[in-house]
């Protein structure tokens, strides 16, 4: 599932392509919205909230989409061929005089009143990329379940919005804590959430998810997807295992020397 910076960049592409222009054609290829027509309305803006996309249009309506594992928004100049998958995978088309935004394989497509956006994103925790970001609020939410493994807590969008498996694993390594350590055993939660803020902002600035400072292929991450390979710092083989509860469990990667488990 994409991280928050990937979704933010998708929202920026949609915003740059559509905001301020009038929709000439819309096509919703989901049963619930099959007869919906937004043509004639201007696009106000497109923003992200954690891993959710909110595209607001005149008349107080918001198109809420979520990419989950396979979804993608593609933007094309008006009249250019579409490339992003076969036609049967298209869920939404938003067309203006200068651009066409095509949503492929989107598992969540719904229209809500802009005033009611909290019904779809109100449950989310603080977003490190949000204008209202608060490290204190993030720490408060993460601390609600002190016995919960920190890796699992970081992935819970209700506690901290926008963190996915890449950054969860890298944050635990950078913080020197095992992903299985309880939240209460993390010595400095502030440094963890501050690092989340830094990494996500670095991601939107560079368009890449590099946590080591080395953008070369195979060198971008400390532990993520490096099972059985030597730790870049100490040479110990990286370990891997499941974390969380099925069906929402993920894969954890950690260095047993740099990130010893408490006790």
Break the chain down into helix, strand, coil percent, rounded to 5.
Answer: 30, 25, 50
56 is annotated as an active-site residue: no
101 φ/ψ angles, rounded to the nearest 5 degrees: -100, 125
3-state secondary structure of 73: strand
**From 29, 74, 250, 256, the catalytic residue:** 250
3 is annotated as an active-site residue: yes
**From 49, 51, 56, 141, the catalytic residue:** 51
Q: CA 262 to CA 179: how far, in whole Å?
A: 11
**From 2, 128, 149, 179, the catalytic residue:** 2
Q: Where are the alpha helices (DSSP H) in the chain?
A: 4-18, 118-121, 135-142, 150-155, 165-174, 189-206
Q: Which residues contact 174 (CB under 8 A, 6 or more apart)?
A: 195, 211, 222
Q: Residue 176 burial (CB < 10 Å; 0-12/13-18/19+)? A: middle
- Do β-strands 99-104 and 250-254 pair in parallel, antiparallel, or remain unpaired? unpaired
Place of tokens 């990130």: 259
250 is annotated as an active-site residue: yes
51 is annotated as an active-site residue: yes
Residues identified as active-site: 2-3, 51, 250
């Amino acid at each position: 599932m994409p991280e928050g910076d990937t979704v933010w960049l998708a929202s920026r592409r949609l915003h740059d392509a559509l905001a301020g222009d009038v929709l000439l054609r819309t096509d919703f290829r989901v049963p619930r919205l099959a007869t919906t027509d937004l043509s004639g309305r201007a696009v106000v803006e497109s923003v992200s909230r954690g891993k959710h996309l909110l595209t607001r249009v005149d008349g107080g309506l918001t198109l809420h989409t979520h990419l989950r594992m396979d979804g993608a928004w593609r933007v094309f100049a008006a009249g250019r061929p579409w490339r992003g998958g076969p036609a049967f995978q298209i869920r939404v088309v938003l067309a203006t005089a200068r651009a066409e935004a095509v949503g492929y394989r989107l598992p969540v497509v719904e229209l809500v009143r802009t005033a009611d956006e909290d019904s779809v994103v109100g449950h989310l925790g603080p977003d490190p990329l949000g204008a209202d970001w608060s490290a204190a609020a993030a720490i408060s939410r993460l601390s609600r379940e002190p016995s919960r493994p920190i890796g699992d807590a970081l992935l819970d969008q209700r506690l901290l919005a926008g963190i996915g498996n890449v950054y969860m694993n890298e944050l635990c390594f950078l913080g020197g804590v095992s992903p299985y350590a309880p939240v209460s055993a993390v010595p400095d939660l502030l440094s963890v959430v501050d690092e989340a803020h830094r990494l996500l902002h670095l991601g939107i600035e560079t368009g890449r998810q590099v946590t080591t400072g080395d953008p070369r292929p195979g060198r971008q991450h400390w532990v993520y997807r490096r099972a059985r390979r030597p730790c870049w710092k100490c040479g110990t083989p990286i370990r891997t295992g499941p974390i969380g509860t099925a069906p929402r469990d993920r894969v954890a990667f950690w260095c047993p020397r740099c990130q010893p488990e408490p006790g």
